[in-house]
Each structure stands twice: as C-alpha cells, then as structure tokens.
Chains A and B, each alone.
Chain A
Amino acid sequence: MKRALPFALALLGTVFIPLAVLLAKSGSPATWAPLWLSDAATRALTGTLVSSLGAASVALLLGVPFAWLVARTDVAGLRVMRTVLTLPSAIPPYIWTMGWIALANPKSGWLTLLVGQGRVDIYGFGGMAFVLGTSALPLVVLSTAAALERIDPSLEEAARLSGATAARTFRSVTLPLITPAAMSGAALVFVFASASFGVPYLLGVSANPPAPTLTTRIYGEVLMGEAGLSRAAVLSVELLLLAVLVLGLNAWIARAGRVRLPRGKGLGRALVSLGRARLPVSLGAWLVAGVVILLPLGAVFLTGLQPTWGQWGSFTLKHWGVVLQPRTLHAAGVSLGLAGAAALLVVAVGLAIALTRQRWLETLADAPSAIPGTVLALALLVTFSRDVRFVAFEQVAFVLALGNTFWLLLLSYVVKHLALGVRSASDSLAQADPTLGEAARLSGAGRLRAFIDGIFPQVRGALAGAALLTFLTVVSELTMSVLLIPTGSDVLGTLLFELQSYADPSSAAVIASALLLVVLAALTVQMSRRAEAR
C-alpha cells in the first residue's frame, strides 16, 4: 500500500487532474447545452458514430470468416496467412490510408484507372470505415480465432453425433460460442476507430463534401488557438464519454452473456478439411487478404518509386533522397529516442506497479489506455501549457515547465501505453513460479538478488515483447504527436502527415516505406526468436 501511493499520485497528476482541467475548460453547465448541441458538434459526433460503426462492421464481416479459416481449416498457406492477418496491428493506420489514397483516389488511383473514374472514391465516411475496419482487423480475427481454438472439439463432435450436419453444428454450437469474443473484438474496433485521427483527417477533411469526425474537429479547433479551446474541450468530453460507454457496455455484455468455455481435453484443434473446396476457398481468401492488406502496402512502396505522384508505369529512386535530408534525419532521431525511452519507461514502471500487487493500482494504470489519444493529449496540453509552480513550506518553489517540450510528448506516450507494461508484467508474474525465487532466498540470496535470479528470467520474455510493441507504436505515433509536438520540431508521424497532406506525397511514401521496412524487420526478428524459443 505504501509503495503503491507514489504511483497513484503520479497517475493522478499526469492523467486524472489534467482530465479534470479539460472538463473545466469545457465550460460550466450553463454553457454546455449550446456547445454540445451546436451544428458542428452534432455533425462531428455523427461522423464519428458512422465511421466507427462502419469500421466495426467491416472488421466483423471480414474478421470472423478469416478467424474461422486460420483457426479451423486447412486453407492453403495457413501460417503465412496468420502472419499477414496480424500485420495491420503493427503498422500505423495512416500508412494504410496513404496506400489507399494512391490506389483509390477519384482522379488518378491505380484501382480507379482500372475500373474507370467515378466508380471508386476512398474519400468520405465509406472509405474511412473501410480503412479503419481493415487496419483494425486483427482485433476481431485474434479474439475470434482464440475462442475457436479454445472450444473443446468434442462440443462440436457431440452435435454431429446427435444428428446435426456440419453446417447446422456451426450454426447451433460454434457460432453461439464465439459470438461474445467476436462482439468484444468489434467493440474494440469501434473504440479504436473513434479515437483515430490520421485516417479521418486524410480521408475526411479533403473529402467532398467534408466528412468531419470528433478527432479532426478537435484538431481544427485547437489550431484556432485560445478561442477554439473550449469547443475542443467539449468535443473531447464527448469522445471520452463515447469510449467509456462502449467499453463499459462491452464489459457488461461480456459478463452477462458469459459462456464458460470448458478447457478442451480432446485431441487438440479440430481441423476441417475443405476437401474439393480447398482450392477455390484458398484462392478467394488470399485474394481478399491480398487486396485488403498487401495491396495498400505495395502501393505505398510503388508510390515512392514513381517520378510523379499518380503516374503509374515508370520508376525512379529520386524521391529516396528525402530519407537523408536533415529534417528527416532529425525527426527520425527524435522518434527513435522517444520510442526507446517510452518503451523502457513503460516496461520499468509497469513492472514496478505490478510488483506492488495492488489490483486497484493496476486498474488505475490501465485506464489511460482507454482514453482516446486526442483527449489525453489535449488534457495534457491545457494543463501543462503554462508552467506549474509548486511552493513547499512557503519558501522553496519548484517550477514544472513541460509546455512545448519533448518531455510532455514522452509523458503522453508513457501514460498512454502504460497498460501494456502493467498487463504483461502482471500476467507474467502471475504465471511465474514463485518457488524459484524462494529457492534463491533459501540459498542465501537477498530479496532483490532473489528477484533478479529467480523471478526476472521468467518474465523477461514478456517484458521484451511489451517493450517492442510500445516502441513500434510510439515510433510512428501521430494522434497525440500532432497536438503536443514542440513548435518547429518533428517526429516521424508528424513529418509524414505534413508531407502527405500538404506538400509532397511521394516523399511521404518514401519515408513510410522506410518505416515499413523497419517494422517488418523488427517483426521478423521477433518471430524468428519466438520460433527459436520453441
């Protein structure tokens, strides 16, 4: 309890007090009504609801069949397909958007030219829902596939022996058992989509007619300075409430509709042989996965190689010079540094919090991950934009000057991803065998030494995984960075975003390609290490 208190106070000061400050900024109950019900606010809220519901539907419609294919069938290229389907979670959504803009913009997209102008347009709410839904596909695929693998095969075999056909068994046994997992994945997609900034900005602001969402409106209001701040605060409260509402609803449904899946003791996963349908089903699945996942990534690479953006056919390396420009190198350096620091801090603080073994503190540290990045960043911005003075004993004064520094950016990265560190530390500690530490104690090791020699080796792998994931997320972070980046500086996310939306999409594609190569290399290293560990 005593050890937990400093962490609780730190979280209070960096997350919950800033949120309260933001709430205060949103005005008083007297001024709420006109702000909440203003035309612009309503349109932004509607936009967020439409694009997020759309994204959840896209992810559900594509994700459940894919989950079934990779969890249960002998579809061709099974292992590669599993990897390809988890790829979107490692790549920032705005990079998918860049790919889709190159493919399906209404004037010069590659797909547009293929099927004829006027048939496809990635801009607007439809495109937004599609890109958000496909880039959040792993949330549905992974949770549904996990449920499918957890189902005891004999539950389905018992239905067959009772006289049900394979199709009837799927409908009356399998589907009801995986529905909670699929719906919970879809709820996470909704929250992810409603909190997303890059995708709705790139696809919504220049759409005709414009397609505003809460996050892009908030950004627009913040750009207007002090005048827009209270309107931005109101929209942030709406966005936060929406996330809390959906996550709460999801938790409630999960508890109410909980179906305990008994641990399978059968022969392991039941493989459905597709038989004669294997070739056509595999071809179809690979076609969809290829179009949805591989095509936009390919488009990003190809865009960086074309002499002029939107002109397909010839290739050049001239845009790749951008990689070595001072501004790019500076942004890359800042991003790598911040991501490294954030990854270390997330894991170290997460481990320290997990070691207090206080459930309430873990819950408290979990909470910021549910706060949309835009809201968290805005709260930190309004709270720390002016220096905060602490006066102790009426004599000593501390000045906390975080505004317009990288420290505030780092702080936002760490609290936003802290849940990752806490959860992986707490889960792996729960699974760790405590007797190894106890044996070290009885062999004469002190508490710290026993932890380092007995327990830490058991949690090291999980912590390294959490650090890598944090690093990959932060190195390309955009949503919070656009609000908190110090004036005149760049991180990779903001640089890419600026090049793509205003100046030079070809250079943006080059930097995105370089980033993709780094991400893919990191994933390959991690996967081969995991394969070795097995």
Chain B
Amino acid sequence: MSAVELTGIEKSFGATAVVKRLSLEVKEHELLALLGPSGCGKTTTLRMIAGLERPDRGRIQLAGQLVDDGAMFVQPEKRGLGMVFQSYAVWPHKSVFENVAYPLQLRREPAIDARVMEALGWVRLAALAHRRPHELSGGQLQRVALARALVGRPKVLLLDEPLSNLDVALREELRGEIASLRAKLGTTMILVTHDQGEALALADRVAVMNRGVIEQLAAPDVVYREPSTPFVAGFVGGANVLDGEVRNGRFHVEGHAFALPVTAEDGPVTLVVRAEDIALGTTGTPLALQARLFLGSSTEYRLSLGSTVLRITGPAINGLTPGSSASASLRAVRLYRKP
C-alpha cells in the first residue's frame, strides 16, 4: 500500500493551469522529492496533499484512505500529517515548548511533557524549550518547526522548501539532520525544493516537475545520468541545451557545425551536452572565447555560439584568454528528436 496516491490531479488558479493531470505514488518510508523551478506546481501539489488547496479534478488517497475526490473532502487537521513551511511558521506568541506541545494538546494525548522533550531532543533543542521564538535564529526556528511536525508521529511529513530561507552552512547542517531523523523515525517524507543538490542528496526518488507535469520520476542517479527530457537535463545537470539539426552526421547550430560522437539520423533535434563533456583543444569547431571563470576545482569557459553561449568546464589552459579562439569537440551527448 502506498503512503500517498494522487490520481489525475488538475488545478488552475484563474486561467493559469498550475497542475495538469498529475498522478503520483509515494511508497511507505520513502523520501520523494518534488523538484522544479518556481511556478512549476510543486508547492501547489504539496498543499493539495495537505488539504490546504483543493484540486479541480482528481483523487487523493493517504494510506489507502480517500481524502479528496471533489465530492468528499477530509479537512487538513484530520489527515494526520506533519508539515514544515519555508517561512518556519513558528507561532510567535508561544514558547518553543508550547509550539511543539500544541499538536499533542489538541489530541489530548497523555505524557505531553515527556514527548515534547523527546521531540526537542531529536532536533537538539531541549535546552531552549522555554525560549520565545524571537530569541531564536532561523536554523533553530526551522528545527522547532521540524519537532512540531514530527511530535505527533505523522503518517507523512510534508516539507515545503524547508531549507530555502537558511544560509549555506545552516542548510547543509539541517539537511544532514533531516536525513538522520528519517533514518531514526522511518517517516514517509515529501520534499518540495528548487535546489537540485538538496533533492539529489536526500531523496530516494526525484520527481522533476515543469509547467504542472512530472517530466521524469526516478532515482537521483538515474535522473542525473539519464535525463529523459532536455528540460530535466538542463535543470538537474546544468547541461547545455541546444536546438539544432543533424545533417550528414554533423550537428548544425547557429551557423556552426560539430562532429557527433554518436551516429544519428538527419533531422531537427535538441542536443544536450554537459559542460564537462566538451573538450577544448586544437581540433574541433573553432569558437570565440567570451569569458573565463575560475571556479576553484575547475575553470569555466564561455564560448559564443551565435545568439547563445556554450559553457565548458575543464582544467585551466594557459594562454586561453577572452577574445582568443578555441576549438571545441563534443565527447558525449544526448539527442532528443523533435516531435
């Protein structure tokens, strides 16, 4: 039995279709990431699972129980979920302890004190139990929110961009904390994020969303290595995505022609090539170097390609400065036939 099951979900705000015929299954104990750019419908999808938005069409089931099919609707407080928001949503008029105790108080559960302190222990905040929210840092607030969402042992934990408001160091720390909590509690989690690194690092499976549809749903390494669409390749790998045409085994784009490392039939294609899969040297297609960016472990070169730019990363090459010409050859590419 799956923890969450969405079938044929559609949702529009006014005239804009935000989610289009989306179906998705989240397995028990799984961490599924909904990854995509802002406006792709990932947050709306999560809010429909929470019951904070209602789909225009489709069914939502939680642990086999129908919670929304248009006619019947289970209120968010009756769904047994936990949720962490991007803006923390820690109640400013309650102490840390009172925030975490709230879900238990509503259910009139016994031994509230002990369970609250246990949950605060999970996120290493037991010492701050009686602080007020305005005395806490962003990272601490988000850990309070995490404890509050988990204290009632929800069937599914929904995480809506939980790390986006934090600076880089805190983000990595809290990312590790989510992973270890998951190992400890085994809670099913759905993580909404626009950060591919976060999705790839935490998730068992990643659903890459674009314009209201899931373009690819697979394990992180598969999404990275074998993107099923040019969008996924561009969004997840940060690859170069070029629209052009294959003629006589060569790829033509913006007035330049590249030799292909694979055989391909003639016709219009979208070619995806990662920045590290292009070689710069003496053989290949000559292009003008626009800019050179030192990235630490490697160097990024930007070469003019008509109206766009070709990005290449590799070792530093002496004498290659902006204005000079360099020859690029493609070592590995993925081709997508145009429909």
**CB-based contact A160/B76 at 8 Å:** yes
- Residue interface bits B30-74, CB-to-A below 8 A is 1, else 0: 000000000000010000001110000000000000000000000
CB <8 Å contact, A158 and B92: no
Interface stretch of the complex, out of A255-263, A300-308, A393-401: A255-263
Closest-by-CB residue of A relative to B101 is A162
List of B residues within 8 angstroms of A259 by Cβ = 92-93
| Alpha-carbon distance A158/B154, docked complex (angstroms) | 13
Does residue B304 face the partner (Cβ distance < 8 Å to A)? no
In the bound complex, residues from chain A placing their C-beta under 8 Å from that of B43 are: 267
Pairwise interchain contact B106-A164, C-beta atoms closer than 8 A = yes
Interface residues on A, range: 20 to 34
- Take A157-B83, A158-B83 as given contacts and tell me if A163 and B103 are in contact as well, using a CB distance cutoff of 8 Å: yes
A157 to B152, CA, bound (A): 16
Contact of B87 among A161, A164, A177, A265 (CB under 8 A): A265
- Contact at B77–A177, with CB atoms within 8 Å? no
B85 lies within 8 A of chain A by Cβ: yes
Given contacts A260-B92, A266-B87, contact A168 B106 (CB under 8 A): yes
Cβ of A407 to closest chain B Cβ, rounded Å = 50
B91 within 8 A of A: yes
B residues less than 8 Å from A165 (CB atoms)? 75, 77
Residue A176 is within 8 A (CB to CB) of chain B in the complex: yes
Docked Cα-Cα span, A87 to B79, in Å, equals 44
Q: How far apart sit A342 and B152, CA to CA, in the bound complex (Å)?
A: 62
In the bound assembly, the distance between CA atoms of A162 and B86 in angstroms comes to 16
A166 to B86, CA, bound (A): 22
Residues of B with C-beta under 8 A to A172? 102
A89 at the interface (CB under 8 A from B): no
Q: Is B225 an interface residue (CB 8 A)?
A: no
Shortest A422–chain B CB gap in Å is: 30
A154, CB-defined interface residue at 8 Å: yes
| Residue in A closest to B88 when the chains form the complex, CB atoms | A262
The smallest C-beta distance from B152 to any residue of chain A, in angstroms, reads 7
The proximity string for A residues 161-193 relative to B, scoring 1 for CB distances below 8 Å and 0 otherwise, is 111111010001100110000000000000000
Q: Is the CB of B82 within 8 A of A161?
A: yes
Smallest CB–CB gap between B194 and chain A, Å?
A: 14
Query: Nearest chain B CB to A419's CB is how many angstroms away?
Result: 30
Q: How far is the CA of A159 from the CA of B158 in the complex (A)?
A: 14
B87 A154 Cβ-Cβ under 8 A: yes
Contact between A177 and B93, CB atoms less than 8 A apart: yes
Closest chain-B Cβ to A144's Cβ sits at a distance in Å of: 16
CA distance A73 to B79 in the complex (A): 24
- Residues 265 to 305 of chain A near chain B (Cβ within 8 Å): 265-267
Can you list, as one digit per residue, whether each of B270-293 has a CB less than 8 Å from chain A (1) or not (0)? 000000000000000000000000
Contacts of B85 in A (CB 8 A): 154, 157-158, 266
B78 to chain A, nearest CB (A): 8
Q: How far does the alpha carbon of A264 sit from the alpha carbon of B92 in the complex, in Å?
A: 13
Within 225-283 of A, Cβ neighbours of B (below 8 Å) are at 259-267
Which residues in A have their C-beta under 8 angstroms from that of B88?
Answer: 262
- A80 nearest CB across to chain B (Å): 21
Q: From A158, which residue of chain B is reached at the shortest CB distance?
A: B89
Q: Which residues of B contact A262 (CB under 8 A)?
A: 87-88, 92
Rounded to whole Å, the gap between the CB of B107 and the closest CB of chain A is 6
Indicate if the CB atoms of A161 and B149 lie closer than 8 Å.
yes
CB distance from B329 to the nearest CB of A (A): 46
Chain B interface residue count, CB cutoff 8 Å, equals 32
A162→B102 CA distance, assembly (Å): 7
Contact residues in A for B82 (Cβ distance below 8 Å): 161
Is A152 an interface position by the 8 A CB rule? yes
- When A159-B102, A163-B106 are in contact, do A265 and B86 touch as well, CB less than 8 Å? yes
With both beta carbons as reference points, the residue of chain A lying nearest to B134 in the complex is identified as: A260
A155: interface (CB < 8 Å): yes
Q: Roughly how many angstroms separate A263 CA and B165 CA in the complex, as a whole number?
A: 12
A residues 82-125 touching B (CB-CB < 8 Å): none
Inter-chain contact A161/B93, CB cutoff 8 Å: no
Kindly identify, within residues 444 to 502 of chain A, every residue whose CB is under 8 Å from any CB belonging to chain B.
Answer: none
Within 8 A of A (CB), among B92-115: 92-93, 102-103, 106-107
Interchain CB contact under 8 A, B91 and A173: yes
B145 within 8 Å of A by Cβ? yes
Fill in one digit per residue for A305-320: 1 if any B CB lies within 8 Å of its CB, else 0: 0000000000000000
Report the separation of the CA atoms of residues A154 and B78 in the bound assembly, to the nearest whole angstrom.
Answer: 17
Assess the A155–B76 pair: CB atoms within 8 A.
Answer: no
B117 within 8 A of A: no
Name the residue of chain B whose CB is nearest to the CB of A270.
Answer: B52
Are the C-beta atoms of B77 and A176 separated by less than 8 Å?
no
Given B107, B145, B152, which contacts A158 in the complex, CB threshold below 8 Å?
Answer: B145
Q: Within the assembled complex, what's the spacing in Å between the Cα atoms of A168 and B106?
A: 9
Q: Which residues of B contact A264 (CB under 8 A)?
A: 87
Contact assessment for B92 and A163 in the assembled complex, using a CB-CB cutoff below 8 Å: no
Q: Judge whether A161 and B92 touch: CB under 8 Å.
A: no
A158 touches B77 (CB 8 A): no
Contact of B89 among A152, A260, A263 (CB under 8 A): A152
Given A155-B91, A260-B92; 20 other pairs, CB 8 A cutoff: A152-B87, A154-B89, A155-B89, A158-B85, A158-B145, A159-B91, A159-B102, A160-B51, A160-B75, A161-B81, A161-B82, A161-B149, A162-B102, A162-B152, A163-B106, A259-B92, A262-B92, A265-B86, A266-B86, A267-B43
Q: Which residues of A are interface residues toward B (Cβ below 8 A)? A: 152, 154-155, 157-166, 168, 172-173, 176-177, 259-267
In the complex, the 8 A-B pairs of residues with the closest C-beta atoms, listed nearest first: A162-B103, A154-B89, A154-B85, A158-B89, A265-B87, A163-B106, A160-B76, A161-B83
29 A–B contacts, CB within 8 A, in A order: A154-B89, A155-B91, A155-B92, A157-B52, A157-B83, A157-B85, A158-B145, A158-B148, A159-B91, A160-B77, A161-B77, A161-B79, A161-B81, A161-B149, A161-B158, A162-B152, A164-B102, A165-B77, A166-B75, A173-B91, A259-B92, A261-B92, A262-B87, A262-B92, A263-B87, A265-B86, A265-B165, A266-B85, A266-B87
